[in-house]
Structure 1
Amino acid sequence: MNIQGKVALVTGASRGIGRAIALELARGGIERLILVARDRTRLAEIAQEIKALGVEAVPLAVDLTKPKELDIAIAGAWRSAGPIHLLVNCAGVAHQSSFLDSKFLQVQEELSLNVLGTYGLTRLVARRMAARREGTIVNVSSLMGKVAAPTMATYSATKFAIVGLTQALRHELAPHNIHVTALLPTLTETDMVRDLHRFRGIVPTSPERVARSLLDGLAKDSAEILVGWQSHLIVWCQRLAPWLLAGIFRLSAPNLEERNFLSWKPLRDSA
């Protein structure tokens, strides 16, 4: 995809990978950016940074988990700032815990934003792209969408879902001249992961590197974009020697269940 003179919508644009992608698109020649997040203050800040680069920025404060509000917001943005040529679904949330100690409200939050929020927004934008027979959709998954990680069961499940959604839409939307790709970063230094217990031996990457990898992948029309040598190594290990990867996980994964065991009480059947 040639982004010169195009309009892009980026979710999760107020921080982390989404913010880095928005800035990299601005530097790369995008004409207009629609910036989506819930935090109005942070959105205003990133919009000012982008305008300083000579690119039009349209902040759009909306909650992706509220379908009616989202529908109205996207319809208005398409009329006033569109049509949208590039959609980057980057908004997401992660909670870490042992499975036995997981909190259902956190599980619901991850599923609601990471899966349903992405699905709902993509459906709204893809329908309009299909009518114009033009568009590119990037779904930001994770390395955990290829290789599930202990202590991150729900997050891994949502990112596997994003990879599956991407693969399905790649084939289904191709007749409408819509290209769909998945971006799969490894552990990235963002606010979201700051309080996570790290896997030993994993070297985190930067949001800026993830953003540069996205633009490189867009230029090549890549179906999937893995970020970093560790990601490629882990995926190949999963394919060729899953037993070896299982052993690596046992040695490197944080043992949260042990830490929380004293406070954990098993659920009992109501009967």
Structure 2
Amino acid sequence: MSRNLVHNLRPLDGQVAIVTGGSRGIGKAICLALAQSGAHVAVNYLRSQEAAEQVAKHCKQYGVQALAAQADVTKSQDVKQLIQTTCLYLGKPSILVNNAGISSTRLLIDTSEEEWDAIIDTNLKAAYLCAKEVIPHMLHNHYGRIINISSIWGIAGGSCEVAYSASKGGLIAFTKALAKEVGPSGITVNAVAPGAIDTDMISHLREEEREALVEETAVGRLGTPADIASVVRFLAEPSSSFLTGQVISPNGGFLT
């Protein structure tokens, strides 16, 4: 097989990626997609150690290095340790996917301050902490890819999901501003805003609520984690170098 063909099949060959919240759902699919393209992957998790280790094991089947790395990405010291561990075992990160996220469905007046803080910290503050730690490594190489997983509710807002919408909308603003800041240094920053994706995050919905989501989606189905991972993989590739500060929303036509 020619060197050019290998490069086309594995455009991320030898790069190092960190995926927060990588043990399941969209995060798991992203880890596998990046590994399939040749990247070494740090699979971050908070509590799901066994699941994260299984994802790392699966990644290794693509001939790359991978590890399960525990860290609470809302805490700066944990994030520093995550980056140090990644550098020690895999190398300096060139790809960061801020995927860790939590949600809550309730009226704003029923949302406690503790719940608000937890959602903002996990969905927005964590992206700040992780980006702050990886950017120096990217600056050193004059290259990097930061990809933030937002949501259509960060664009349009969702009733009974004010905290979640605020956190994901903030992540979009964070993306646009940071892209301008680090663009001259060869680092791109983009956001992916999924629509209704069939993951644990919507597992609480009743069957009629799921059917309503399907009916509102032009393609007539819920999205899959693989649908999101394919977009992330493209944004992580060197060939996406002219795309930054953008919000790409794979939502099946739910939001146009």
TM over 0.5: yes
Alignment of structure 1 residues 195-210 onto 2, 5 Å: 195-196=204-205, 198=209, 200=212, 201-203=215-217, 204-210=222-228
Which moves more between the two structures, 15-24 or 195-204?
195-204
Distance 2:198 2:115 in 1: 21
Q: Which amino acid aligns with 1:41?
A: E
Q: Are the structure 2 counterparts of residues 176 and 205 from structure 1 closer, same or farther at C-alpha, using a change threshold of 3 Å?
A: same
* Paired position in structure 1 for 2:7: none
CA contact (8 A) 1:92 1:114 kept: yes
Distance 2:82 2:193 in 1: 28
* Paired position in structure 2 for 1:37: 45
Distance 1:196 1:123 in 2: 36
Which moves more between the two structures, 142-151 or 159-168?
142-151
Size of the aligned set, in residue pairs, is 232
Q: Deviations over 1:127-186 (max 9, x none)?
A: 221122111100111111111011111100000000000000111001111111111111
Show structure 2 runs of 5+ residues with no match: 1-9
Is 1:72 matched with 2:81?
yes
Q: Select the structure of larger CA radius of gyration.
A: 1
Instruction: Calculate the aligned-residue CA RMSD, in Å.
Output: 1.9
CA contact (8 A) 2:38 2:62 kept: no
Distance 1:134 1:78 in 2: 16
Q: Which amino acid aligns with 1:52?
A: Q
Alignment of structure 1 residues 132-211 onto 2, 5 Å: 132-196=141-205, 198=209, 200=212, 201-203=215-217, 204-211=222-229
Equivalent position SS for 1:150: coil
* Paired position in structure 2 for 1:240: none
* Paired position in structure 2 for 1:90: 99
Is 1:119 matched with 2:128?
yes
Deviation at 1:103?
2.7
Deviation at 1:104?
2.6
Deviation at 1:194?
0.9
Equivalent position SS for 1:230: coil
Equivalent position SS for 2:191: strand
Q: Are the structure 2 counterparts of residues 196 and 122 from structure 1 closer, same or farther at C-alpha, using a change threshold of 3 Å?
A: farther
Q: Which amino acid aligns with 2:159?
A: P
Deviation at 1:209?
1.1
* Paired position in structure 1 for 2:6: none
Q: Are the structure 2 counterparts of residues 218 and 86 from structure 1 closer, same or farther at C-alpha, using a change threshold of 3 Å?
A: closer
Which moves more between the two structures, 120-129 or 211-220?
211-220
CA contact (8 A) 2:179 2:190 kept: yes
* Paired position in structure 2 for 1:239: none
Pick from 24, 27, 33 the counterpart of residue 24 of structure 1: 33
CA contact (8 A) 1:96 1:196 kept: no
Q: Deviations over 1:16-63 (max 9, x none)?
A: 101001111122222x11111112111111111112232211111111
Equivalent position SS for 2:68: strand
Show structure 1 runs of 5+ residues with no match: 236-271
Q: Deviations over 1:170-217 (max 9, x none)?
A: 110011111111111111111122114647334421101111122234
Q: Deviations over 1:105-130 (max 9, x none)?
A: 22111011111111111111112211
* Paired position in structure 1 for 2:67: 58
CA contact (8 A) 1:145 1:163 kept: yes
Is 1:108 matched with 2:108?
no
* Paired position in structure 1 for 2:4: none
Pick from 214, 222, 226 the counterpart of residue 249 of structure 2: 226
What percent of counterpart residues are identical? 27
Q: Are the structure 2 counterparts of residues 149 and 26 from structure 1 closer, same or farther at C-alpha, using a change threshold of 3 Å?
A: same
